Amino acid sequence: MKSKILLVEDERDLGNVVKQYLEIMDFDVEWSLNGKNAYDTYAAKPENFDLLVIDVQLPGMNGFDLASKIQEHNKNTPYLFLTARGEKKDRINGLSIGADDYITKPFDIDELVLRIKNIIKRRVPGKAASISTDNTITAIDAITFGDVIFQKHLLKIKVGNKPSVALTVREAELLQYLYNHRNSILKREDILVQLWGENDYFIGRSLDVFISRLRKQLSASEKVSIDNVYSVGFIFNVKE
């Protein structure tokens, strides 16, 4: 059975992204835009939720107040705070009232997923078995090239005998594109326009970061590499 998360985030764009990503990572997610609605949702069926992800800066009832009300209802419900605040006093306050963790915006979505999994494994024994901790990759929707197995829908890559690792959505999109155009010279501008709709300096810098991260993951491969083509772009080399 999937672990169910109650996400409380008033920023619609961020909330939508986090909800979709968590669902991709096989969580069942209910999303509330404010503290009152979140509390009403939780109080109606508290047994439904394994973890709450709570933004501190909510309209009306803030995240700290929401967490306190939830603890009055059930002090054993695990939750973590998600906030733009970086002040030490806020972190101490959040942890002192019983939060299992505290992550500051902007954050790496993969780090958030890892923290959620760790909390559930630690605090919800009945669901621990449903959280995958091994590195087994099934053949369903998997792409194998060289000594690499790639599952885009699960955002996972496995190289040789190394443990599988998580990718971000954009890294997975980029890897899929590189694979589709393997062993061919790819222009930077074509990658940017085809994947993300435009070619500008800032998106180009992001591409360099994604390429660097993928290279790091592929460094253990004996058959797959991403090589630079000077002043042009890249070539995704695959030896079958």
Looking at the structure, tell me whether residues 80 and 104 fall in a common domain: yes
* CA geometry: angle 199, 200, 206, nearest 5 deg: 95
Q: Over 80: is that where the pLDDT of 91 sits?
A: no
Residue 136 lies in a domain: no
The two beta strands, 79-83 and 51-55, are parallel
- Compute the distance between CA of residue 101 and CA of residue 121 in angstroms, rounded to an integer: 14
Looking at the structure, tell me whether residues 114 and 157 fall in a common domain: no
* Residue 52, domain extent: 4-128
The pTM score is 0.55
Looking at the structure, tell me whether residues 120 and 10 fall in a common domain: yes
Reference 116, options 45, 26, 34; nearest CA is 26
Q: How many domains does the chain have?
A: 2
Looking at the structure, tell me whether residues 107 and 219 fall in a common domain: no
Per-residue pLDDT at 131? 55
Average pLDDT, whole number, for the chain?
Answer: 85
Per-residue pLDDT at 202? 63
Per-residue pLDDT at 126? 63
Peptide bond into 106 cis (omega under 30): yes
Per-residue pLDDT at 66? 95
Looking at the structure, tell me whether residues 52 and 155 fall in a common domain: no
The two beta strands, 79-83 and 101-104, are parallel
Picking from 128, 154, 188, the residue at the C-terminal end of a domain is: 128
Picking from 102, 128, 154, the residue at the C-terminal end of a domain is: 128
pLDDT band at 137 (very low <50, low <70, confident <90, very high): very low
The mean per-residue pLDDT over the stretch 212-226 comes to: 93
Per residue in 117-126, pLDDT (tens digit) is: 888 888 776 6
Domain CATH number, residue 66: 3.40.50.2300
Q: Over 80: is that where the pLDDT of 112 sits?
A: yes
CA distances from 79 to 5, 64, 94, 99, 216 (A): 9, 11, 10, 6, 33
Per-residue pLDDT at 88? 65
Could you give the residue ranges of the DSSP H alpha helices within the chain?
Answer: 12-24, 35-44, 63-73, 88-96, 109-123, 125-128, 169-180, 188-196, 201-218
Domain CATH number, residue 211: 1.10.10.10
Per residue in 2-50, pLDDT (tens digit) is: 899 999 999 988 898 899 889 888 899 999 999 999 999 999 999 899 9
Point out the least confidently predicted range of 49-63, 130-144, 170-184: 130-144
Tell me what percent of the chain is helix, strand and coil, each rounded to the nearest 5. 45, 20, 35
- Compute the distance between CA of residue 142 and CA of residue 152 in angstroms, rounded to an integer: 8
Per-residue pLDDT at 62? 93
Per-residue pLDDT at 148? 92
- 41 - beta bridge partners? none
User: For residues 135 and 190, which has the higher predicted lDDT (pLDDT)?
Assistant: 190
The two beta strands, 79-83 and 28-32, are unpaired
Looking at the structure, tell me whether residues 83 and 159 fall in a common domain: no
Per-residue pLDDT at 34? 96
- Compute the distance between CA of residue 216 and CA of residue 26 in angstroms, rounded to an integer: 26
Contacts of 25 (CB under 8 A, 6+ apart): 113, 154, 155
Q: Over 60: is that where the pLDDT of 139 sits?
A: no
Residue 138 lies in a domain: no
- Compute the distance between CA of residue 189 and CA of residue 115 in angstroms, rounded to an integer: 36
Looking at the structure, tell me whether residues 168 and 95 fall in a common domain: no
Looking at the structure, tell me whether residues 109 and 155 fall in a common domain: no
- Compute the distance between CA of residue 90 and CA of residue 227 in angstroms, rounded to an integer: 45
Per-residue pLDDT at 190? 92
Q: Over 90: is that where the pLDDT of 224 sits?
A: yes
pLDDT band at 129 (very low <50, low <70, confident <90, very high): very low
User: For residues 222 and 136, which has the higher predicted lDDT (pLDDT)?
Assistant: 222
